[in-house]
């Protein structure tokens, strides 16, 4: 337990004298620190902040530069795609079979396997659905082509098939042309 304080009259006078000082500095400036104190304090407390600001400015500048380059390349005109299709695309089939398993059991009309083990329980299998046909016509609900717009086929195979069909029908219906005479040409 702390013993009670014994204050001397001298103690009281010193305390009273310092407590009664006004908040304003004295006229002769004995209780005013020099300006260099604040300068040194500022140097000490602003150093980390300035360092942080430099790094922040560097990062911000890099981000702006990257964004500017990205915007510039986005604004450049894009080259139009080549009009001639590549040979690889012409040879590709329109659709690919879903099931490539040769040994798979045949599927009946209900979509269940025809070959079942004798003691096995019937299992529910989802019937295989045919793959969705690739159609040139727009699907119901989709937007219609603009009037005068060129009809676009889904792929080259479809287009070739249609062209072949048109050529066959036109050849059958059209009268045959006479062959050029041999030796009659003037070369």
Catalog residues that contact another protein under the rule CB under 8 A.
Answer: 2-3, 5, 7-15, 17-18, 20-21, 23-26, 28, 30-34, 36-38, 40-42, 44-46, 49
CB of 1 to another protein, least distance (A): 10
CB of 6 to another protein, least distance (A): 10
CB of 50 to another protein, least distance (A): 10
Q: Are 154 and 161 in contact (CB under 8 A)?
A: no
Q: Which is nearer to another protein, 31 or 171 (CB)?
A: 31
What is d(CA 162, CA 90) in angstroms, rounded to the nearest whole number? Answer: 14
Q: Are 134 and 158 in contact (CB under 8 A)?
A: yes
Q: Which is nearer to another protein, 35 or 118 (CB)?
A: 35
CB of 62 to another protein, least distance (A): 23
Count the neighbouring beta carbons within 10 Å of the beta carbon of residue 72.
9
């Amino acid at each position: 337990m702390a013993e009670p304080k014994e204050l001397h009259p001298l103690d009281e006078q010193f305390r009273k004298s310092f407590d009664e000082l006004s908040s304003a500095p004295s006229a002769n400036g004995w209780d005013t620190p020099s300006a260099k104190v604040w300068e040194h304090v500022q140097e000490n407390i602003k150093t980390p902040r300035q360092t942080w600001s430099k790094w922040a400015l560097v990062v911000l500048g890099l981000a702006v530069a990257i964004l500017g380059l990205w915007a510039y390349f986005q604004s450049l005109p894009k080259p139009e795609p080549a009009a001639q299709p590549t040979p690889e695309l012409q040879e590709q089939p329109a659709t690919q079979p879903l099931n490539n398993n040769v040994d798979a059991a045949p599927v009946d009309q209900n979509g269940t396997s025809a070959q079942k083990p004798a003691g096995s329980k019937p299992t529910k299998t989802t019937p295989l659905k045919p793959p969705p046909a690739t159609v040139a016509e727009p699907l119901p609900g989709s937007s219609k082509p603009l009037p005068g717009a060129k009809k676009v086929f889904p792929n080259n195979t479809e287009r070739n098939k249609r062209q072949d069909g048109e050529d066959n029908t036109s050849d059958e219906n059209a009268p045959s042309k006479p062959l050029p005479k041999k030796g009659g040409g003037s070369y």
